[in-house]
Amino acid sequence: MNPNHWPYPRWVAHRGAGKLAPENTLAAFRLGAAHGYRMFECDVKLSSDGVPFLMHDTTLQRTTNAGAKLGVGTITPSVNGTSAVGGDQSWSTLSQLDAGSWHSRAYAGEGLPTLEAVARYCIANGFFLNIEIKPTPGTERHTGEVVAQHAARLWQGVAVSPLLTSFDVKALEGAQAVQPDLPRGLLLDELWNGWLEKALKLECQAIVCNHSLWDKSTVLQAKSAGFKTLSYTVNDEWAAQRLIDLGTDAIITDRVDLFKPA
C-alpha cells in the first residue's frame, strides 16, 4: 500500500460493536454496521488445525460455553485442567461453541466466526477491517504468517486490504515476510525503548497506541516518521476530542452508540 494513501475511516468499532453485542462475532459486526460504522477491529488467532478464527483471549472461558464442556467430547483442557486454550482446539470443535450466551440471552447460539466469514461480510458490504493478530503463546511468527496469507487470499482483487496489527513483533515480522504489501500497524500499550525504530523496521503504516500515550510530542514523532496515528479504546467524549485536537488519524471505540462515525 502506498504509505501516503490512507483509505480507512476515522471511527473504528472495537471487536464489532464494543460491549453492545458479544465481541468478535458476526452479530457484533451487524450491530456496529447498524450504528453507521464502516470499519471494524477484530482479534484473530489460529485453531490447532490452522483455521484463522475470531477470539481475543488465549482461553475460551470468558466468551464461550467451553467451560461447561471441559472434559466432555473433544474440548481439550489446558495443563491445569481448568481452562481450554483456543489454539489447542480444532476448528470442528470450536465451531460448535456458543459465543453469545455469555453476553445475553438474545445472542444465545451465536457462533465463533472464521476470518473467512468476516471477510465475506465486510467485502460484500464495502466495509473496512483491522485484524489484530492474537497468537496463542508459542505460535507468534507462524500465526502472523498464516493470518497474512489468508488475508491476502480473501481480499485478492479488493480495492482496500485489511490493516494487520499486533502487539507481538514476531507476529508482525511473520506477516511482513510472507505478505509485505499488506498494511501493518504496531500496537503499543507503553512506549518501550525503540518503538519508533521497530515500527520503521517492520515497514508499518500505522502506530496504534493506548490513547493516553498520545500527546503533541509522540504524535509529532510518529507523523514525522510517516506513520498514521490510531488510538484504542476510546469511550469518553473528552478523550475523543483530545485526540481529534491532536490531529490523530483514527479512533477505536466500544461506544458505537455514543460516537456517530458520519
pLDDT at 262: 75
Provide the pLDDT confidence category of residue 78 given band limits of 50, 70 and 90: low
Please write the tens of the pLDDT for every residue from 136-163: 999 999 999 999 999 999 999 999 999 9
- Position 73 confidence tier, pLDDT thresholds 50, 70, 90: low
Rounded CA-CA distance 54/132 in Å is 10
Question: How far is 112 from 27, CA to CA, in rounded Å?
Answer: 10
What are the structural domains, with CATH classification, of the chain? 11-58+114-253 (3.20.20.190)
CA distance 213 to 79: 37
Q: Is 226:248 a contact under the CB 8 Å cutoff?
A: no
Catalytic residue among 5, 56, 142, 150: 56
Whether 56 is catalytic is: yes
- Give the pLDDT band (50/70/90) at residue 77: confident
Kindly name the residue from 5, 14, 142, 150 that is annotated as catalytic: 14
Annotated catalytic residue 14: yes
Output the pLDDT for position 138. Answer: 97
Q: Is the pLDDT of residue 42 over 70?
A: yes
- Grouping H, G, I as helix, E, B as strand and the rest as coil, residue 199 is helix
Between CA 109 and CA 103 the distance in angstroms is 11
Beta carbons within 10 angstroms of residue 121's beta carbon:
17
